[in-house]
Copies of this chain bind each other. A is one copy, B any other.
Amino acid sequence: MKIAIIGATGHAGSAIFKEALKRGHEVTGYVRHPDKSVGILPPDADLIQQDAFTLTREQLTGYDAVIDAFATTVEQAYLHIDLADHLIHELRNTDKPRVIFILGAGSLKNGDHTLYDTLKKDPHAAAFINTPLNQFRELQLLRWTDNVNWLGISPSANFQPGPATAYVRGKDELLKDDSGKSVLNSDTLAVALLDELENPTIKQARFTARNA
């Protein structure tokens, strides 16, 4: 597959980039700061320095999959909404590429509530809540969208750097292991996502995963 990754030098983006390369896909990273790739991506990684908000329909439709792994500051978390809508707008009434949005875990159901409802009660919520809030809104925007081939993936409550493990896959519920831990490694997310890309099982929906 021809795969484009927005935010290819980030936590999730770089893990997906390497997993996709390993599986023999043709991967292009769209990055704001190519120098950030040193030590993170292979020296010969195909990187294009371009603001993702300038990506055009013509560029995007040249790929089989476009992965939005954009990351930003807490203060600018509204950019998650804006970039999602830019990509959606450019791709209205297309079926290719499949567009994948790396969401937060906050929108996952956790019993009667969402993880976001729990997070916002954290005494330090002011320092970070804007990010899960806007990623929740981003998912809402996706759910309004029925004419773009989108896919969302949410990690578990703890999304951490780490090697690929076996994984358990879920839909809209926060996943926990028998001891109540909800953890997903970045390389495990990459494996779960590439598995879904190579063998699509859902469309216009979000899934989640945890380390098994």
Contact = CB atoms under 8 A, between A and B. Distances in A.
A82 interface: yes
A73 to B, nearest CB: 13
B88 A82 contact: yes
A118 interface: no
A82 B81 contact: no
- State how many copies of this chain the complex holds: 2
A176 interface: no
Nearest to A53: B89
Contact of A147 (B78, B86, B137, B147): B78
Nearest to A82: B89
Given A137-B144, A144-B137, A81 B85 contact: yes
Interface of A: 53, 78, 81-82, 85-86, 88-89, 92, 134, 137, 140-141, 144-145, 147
